Structures are given as structure tokens and as C-alpha cells.
């Protein structure tokens, strides 16, 4: 098992990519803190991890709320004594063309997708520094590399988390802490729920592999990056998109 006895915190782990990541980590032997904002989804993910033979606990943690994040880290450390990996996965969309985008749409996406990543990492970094080890993984997006129509706010945040991953790779590398960003293409999760079927088909057509990605395919990437097999991967930005951007 790739992640045997490693302790991981995964934000937004109630569904989608986060849930698949929690399950993958649990299957690979990790002890998982399932963090999200809805108790029923947290419970579902924890049950899935346990049913797969893994160890997991869950807690409500809003990435905008430092107190809830400190409590999430404390609960993890109280239970397992350490934090080996933080997956900054929680994210939302609130799309509109620039001319129509409201301040609220811009601020909500920046608060969760950008500042939320800063908040979570800030809450965890002291423990990782004390341990002199750890892995920080930021969920970015191909939109964080290339931009996207109707996603000024999302693009700003996803470019930003790449910048933070690289900055932390430089700041923390000598302390035994690695930091990387993953850029999924179009992955079949609830976040795509507002996109009309017709547009989904058009997206699939654009992918050389002819299909959307599965949450498990991003989860596998996070699991590899969290493992010791990725021990020299630091400051990397890894695209997982079926060839969409070539």
C-alpha cells in the first residue's frame, strides 16, 4: 500500500474528486480526515472509506473559516499525532462573462478557491514544519493555466493556487515539505452539474480520448504525489486532462 499509515487531510471530501481521493487514500492505507461543509456527505465518505477497510474520521470545515480549520487540524493530530498530506481540494464555480460578473461572484470564488487554500495550508504548515515532513497538494485546473470563457474569478483563483504551490515548494522544500499543483481537465463530478448536456458532448469531442475524466483519475494522481514514490516532485504542475490541451 502506497500511503500506509500516512495521515491525510482532504478538503471538500464530501463528494466529487475529494470523495474519490479520500477513498483512494484509505485504500492505499492512509488515515483520512474527511473535511467538508455538509455533514451527510462527510458521513457518506467516512463510511465508504471504512467499508473499503480504511481508517477515516470526518469534520465540518469551511475553508473560509480559520477557526474550523484549526479545529480540523487539532482533531486530526489528537487522533493520529501528525499530518503527512494536505489535499486542498475544496472549490466552487460561479461563472459569468466579465461584463456580467458581480462582485459577489468574484469574491465568493476567490474566498473559497484561493484564500481557502491559503487558510488550510496556514492551519497545517506549523505541524509539518515541526515534523520536518509533509506534502501539500493544490487542486488547480487547466483553467489555471490557459484561462476560460466566463471564468475570470475561477481562472484568477486557479492561477493563484499554482503560484502558491510553487512558492511553498521554494519556501518549504528544505524543511522536508513538498508542494505541487494538479490541473484536471473536465472531470465528471457535481461541479459540472450546471453545464447543459449539449455542451458536455462538445467538451468530450474536444478531448483526444473522447471522454470526460473520472474523479478516480484525479484521485490516483493525488495519491501518487502524496506517496514517497514522488519524493523528488516539488513545485510541479501536473495536467491530467486526457490530452485536451495539446
3-state secondary structure of 40: helix
Q: Of these, 189, 221, 227, 234, which contacts ligand NAP (CB under 6 A)?
A: 189
Choose the stretch contacting ligand NAP; rule: CB under 6 A; options: 23-31, 102-110, 187-195, 196-204.
187-195
Q: Kindly identify the residues of this chain, within the stretch 33-62, that bind ligand NAP according to CB under 6 A.
A: 36-38, 41, 62
Contact 116, 139 (CB under 8 A): no
φ, ψ for residue 93, nearest 5 deg: -125, 150
Closest distance between ligand NAP and the C-beta of residue 176, in Å? 26
Closest distance between ligand NAP and the C-beta of residue 124, in Å? 14
Residue 84: name the closest of 46, 45, 29 by CA. 29
Closest distance between ligand NAP and the C-beta of residue 143, in Å? 7
For ligand NAP, give the closer residue by CB, 14 or 134: 14
Q: From CA 196, how far away is CA 189, in angstroms rounded?
A: 14
181: Cβ contacts below 8 Å, ≥ 6 apart: 137, 138, 139, 140, 144, 161, 162, 165, 166, 236, 237, 238
Largest CA-CA distance found in the chain, in angstroms, rounded: 51
Using CB under 6 A as the binding rule, whether residue 14 contacts ligand NAP is answered as: yes
Q: Is residue 154 among the annotated active site residues?
A: yes
Using CB under 6 A as the binding rule, whether residue 217 contacts ligand NAP is answered as: no
Using CB under 6 A as the binding rule, whether residue 242 contacts ligand NAP is answered as: no
Q: From CA 59, how far away is CA 187, in angstroms rounded?
A: 25
Q: Kindly identify the residues of this chain, within the stretch 83-112, that bind ligand NAP according to CB under 6 A.
A: 89-92, 112
Cell triple for 218: 484525479
For ligand NAP, give the closer residue by CB, 34 or 135: 34
* Terminal Cα distance for the chain, rounded: 33
Site size for ligand NAP, by CB under 6 A?
29
Using CB under 6 A as the binding rule, whether residue 121 contacts ligand NAP is answered as: no
Q: Of these, 96, 110, 191, 200, which contacts ligand NAP (CB under 6 A)?
A: 191
Distances from the Cα of 70 to the Cα of 22, 55, 78, 180, 188, angstroms: 20, 21, 12, 22, 31
Closest distance between ligand NAP and the C-beta of residue 17, in Å? 4
Closest distance between ligand NAP and the C-beta of residue 23, in Å? 13
Using CB under 6 A as the binding rule, whether residue 221 contacts ligand NAP is answered as: no
Cell triple for 224: 501518487
- What are the residues binding ligand NAP (CB under 6 A)? 11-12, 14-18, 36-38, 41, 62-64, 89-92, 112, 116, 139, 141, 184, 186-187, 189-192
Amino acid at each position: 500500500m502506497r500511503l500506509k499509515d500516512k495521515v491525510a487531510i482532504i478538503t471538500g471530501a464530501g463528494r466529487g474528486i475529494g470523495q474519490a481521493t479520500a477513498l483512494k487514500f484509505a485504500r492505499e492505507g492512509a488515515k483520512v480526515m474527511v473535511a467538508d461543509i455538509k455533514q451527510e456527505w462527510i458521513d457518506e465518505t467516512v463510511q465508504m472509506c471504512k467499508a473499503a477497510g480504511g481508517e477515516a474520521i470526518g469534520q465540518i470545515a469551511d475553508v473560509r473559516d480559520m477557526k474550523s480549520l484549526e479545529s480540523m487540524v487539532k482533531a486530526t493530530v489528537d487522533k493520529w499525532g501528525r499530518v503527512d498530506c494536505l489535499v486542498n481540494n475544496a472549490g466552487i464555480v460561479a461563472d459569468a462573462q466579465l461584463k456580467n460578473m458581480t462582485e459577489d461572484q468574484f469574491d465568493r470564488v476567490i474566498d473559497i478557491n484561493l484564500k481557502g487554500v491559503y487558510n488550510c495550508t496556514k492551519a497545517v504548515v506549523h505541524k509539518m514544519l515541526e515534523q520536518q515532513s509533509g506534502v501539500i497538494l493544490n487542486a488547480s485546473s487547466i483553467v489555471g493555466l490557459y484561462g476560460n470563457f466566463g471564468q475570470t474569478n475561477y481562472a484568477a483563483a486557479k492561477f493563484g493556487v499554482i503560484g502558491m504551490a510553487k512558492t511553498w515548494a521554494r519556501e518549504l522544500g528544505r524543511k522536508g515539505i513538498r508542494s505541487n499543483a494538479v490541473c484536471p481537465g473536465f472531470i465528471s463530478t457535481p461541479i459540472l452539474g450546471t453545464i447543459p448536456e449539449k455542451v458536455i458532448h462538445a467538451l468530450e469531442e474536444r478531448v483526444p480520448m473522447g471522454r470526460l475524466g473520472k474523479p478516480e483519475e484525479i484521485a490516483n494522481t493525488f495519491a501518487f504525489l502524496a506517496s514517497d514514490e514522488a519524493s523528488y516532485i516539488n513545485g510541479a504542475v501536473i495536467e491530467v486532462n486526457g490530452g485536451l490541451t495539446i
